[in-house]
Amino acid sequence: MIPVCPLANLPRGEAHRLDVDPPIAVFHTEDGEIYAVDDTCTHQDASLSDGWLEGCEIECPLHASSFDLRTGRPSSPPAKLPLRTHRVVVSDDTVYVVPSEEPPNLPPGVRAGTV
Amino acid sequence: MTARSLPPSVIATLPGGHYTDENIFALEQTRIFESMWFCVARASDLGKPGAFRTVQVGRESVLVTRARDDSIRAFLNVCRHRGARIRTEESGEVKRAFQCPYHAWTYDLEGKLIAAPNLTKMPDLDRVEYGLVNVAVREWMGYVWVCLADEPPSFEVDVIGEATVRLGDERAIESYDIANLAVGRRIVYDVRANWKLIVENFMECYHCATIHPELTEVLPEFADGYAAQSFVGHGAEFGEEIRGFTVDGSAGVDRIPGVGEEQDRRYYAITIKPQVFVNLVPDHVIWHRMFPLAADRTIVECDWLFLKDVVDAGTDLGPSVELFHRVNEQDFAACERCQPAMSSRAYAQGGVLVPSEHHIGAFHDWVINRLGAGSG
Ligand code: FES
Ligand code: FES
Ligand SMILES: [Fe+2]
């Protein structure tokens, strides 16, 4: 379990980029849910924490694929592969993530361990 | 300029080359259009965040938009990566960001770089520093003005002062409540003439009786050739049997409430150097913005502004718009008639200004002064 930030530092509508390898994006939706997915879009090397959060979808800032934060699945092209999702734990007013054990779907040219 | 000996009643114009020479035009671009406040758009053209326009100011294409906080922003229309034009259309709307179509560098509505492929691998790239280059913006009278200079001159002196000096006092223009009028009609003219020919034409009325039959009918004093602009605070009076500022003298639309008795039934004209002309009549305002594109080509965007209620009610604006639309076409045809002659041997030393045009000499002095000015 990795600490992300105090809950107070992640207001609704905001994102936090966790600088692990590969990086993880943590989102606090307007509805008050907190989700964590891989930060790197599966289409090209773009940071999803720079994208646009709408409901529980994150839209990639580069070519507008949207991903469902609950499943990681893209709902529109050009991205085809899903993002990994990570479990979020909030305890003592701190946000933690439990990184997934699955292999990540990183875009071409991006490999874990090259950060 | 070579000194010419002229009879006392006339003074010299600029030599013909000033209207054709690309080097002189290039100097005008840097020392006038890129150094002064330049009126680019009606604020209502940028109706909501993300709405944008691209405009030519001097040598630069400028991207003007409205940010999330409703403020108007302007940037050089150049991607900071490898220089692609961000937008090429004249106007449009983006949802939340400007994205360069080449490698997808993405800028928010404040110009900050917010995303790019591999951007997280370049944490040393400052997102503001590598954001779009901002230019200064002001809003006045419902219009958006930009200034490309690093240190813009005083807007109060150069723009507000210029409009005010002509009318005698600041309240005179305020009474038309121009910021709250609505654009009833816009016509864009592509004029094959140097911008100075258009300014000079606007400044004199020696031509009025000859080329503006409809206007002279409405404003009979224009037949004597003395431009309304040569007297501070003077507005040309409507003819006795004229009911409104319309193509046939018929009644216009609802009068702007702030227009006082002394301004009623009168026409005022203002030049705000270098590229704005304003005409004030009791029920509307005609606002011209020039975009000089080349030594021999100028785009003029002209707005007819009326009370919002008048426009919303779908009132017939035809007779009001038609009057000055004809004046514009008549004036621009005259300018286009002069342009090809500017390179003639007959005009190498220029022409002459008759007494009712002598005040144009001050405009020429002003241009020459600016061209001589260092980088100002
Ligand atoms: S990089 Fe995300 S959709 Fe292309
Ligand atoms: S030139 Fe704009 S992203 Fe490359
Ligand atoms: Fe005219």
Domain annotation covers residue A49: yes
Range of the domain at A87: 2-98
**Which pLDDT score, from 0 to 100, does residue B5 have?**
87
**How many domains, in total, are found in chain A?**
1
Residue A108 lies in a domain: no
**CA nearest to A46 within chain B:** B117
Task: Give the count of beta carbons closer than 10 Å to the beta carbon of residue A8.
Answer: 9
Quick check: is A112 in a domain?
Answer: no
Q: Is the pLDDT of residue B91 over 50?
A: yes
At B311, list the tokens.
């426009």
| Within-domain flag for A107 | no
Give the ipTM: 0.85
Nearest atom in ligand 1 to A60's CA = 2
Class of domain B1-34+171-376: alpha beta
Give me the phi and psi of B65, to 5 degrees please.
-150, 175
If residue B271 lies in a helix (H) or strand (E), which one and from where to where?
Answer: strand B266-272
DSSP B62: E
The neighbouring-strand residues paired with B64 are B53, B74
Would you say residue A105 lies in a domain? no
Instruction: Confirm whether A67 is domain-assigned.
Output: yes
Q: Which residues surround ligand 3, an ion (CB under 5 A)?
A: B 331
Reported as a pLDDT band with limits 50, 70 and 90, residue B231 is low
Report whether pLDDT(B162) > 70: yes
Q: Exposed, middle or buried by CB within 10 Å (0-12, 13-18, 19+), for B136?
A: middle
Angle, nearest 10°, between helix axes B318-338 and B195-203? Answer: 120
Q: What is the largest CA-CA distance in chain B?
A: 75
Average pLDDT over residues B106-119: 96
End-to-end CA distance of chain B: 22
Distance from CA of B114 to the nearest CA of A (A): 6
List pocket residues of ligand 2, CB cut-off 6 Å: B 79, 81-84, 100, 102-105
Q: What is the mean pLDDT of residues B105-126?
A: 95
Per-residue model confidence (pLDDT) at position A115? 45
Concatenated DSSP letters for B128-163? TTTSPPEEEEEEETTEEEEE-SSSPPPHIIIIIIHH
Tens digits of residue pLDDT in B305-322? 999 999 999 999 999 999
Cα gap B9→A83, rounded to integer Å: 83
Residues of B in contact with A47 (CB under 8 A): 115, 119-120
**What does the alpha-carbon distance between residue B149 and residue B31 come to, in Å, rounded to a whole number?**
10
Sequence ranges of chain B with CATH classification 2.102.10.10:
37-152
**How close does chain B come to A50, measured CA to CA in Å?**
6
Do residues B247 and B323 touch, judged by C-beta distance below 8 A?
yes
CA distance A39 to B219: 69
pTM > 0.90: yes
Structurally, at CATH architecture level, domain B37-152 sits in 3-layer Sandwich (2.102)
| A83 Cβ below 6 A of ligand 1 | no
Which residues in chain B have their CB less than 8 angstroms from residue A66's CB? none
Would you state the pLDDT for residue B376?
40
A34 lies in some domain: yes
Q: Is residue A36 part of a domain?
A: yes
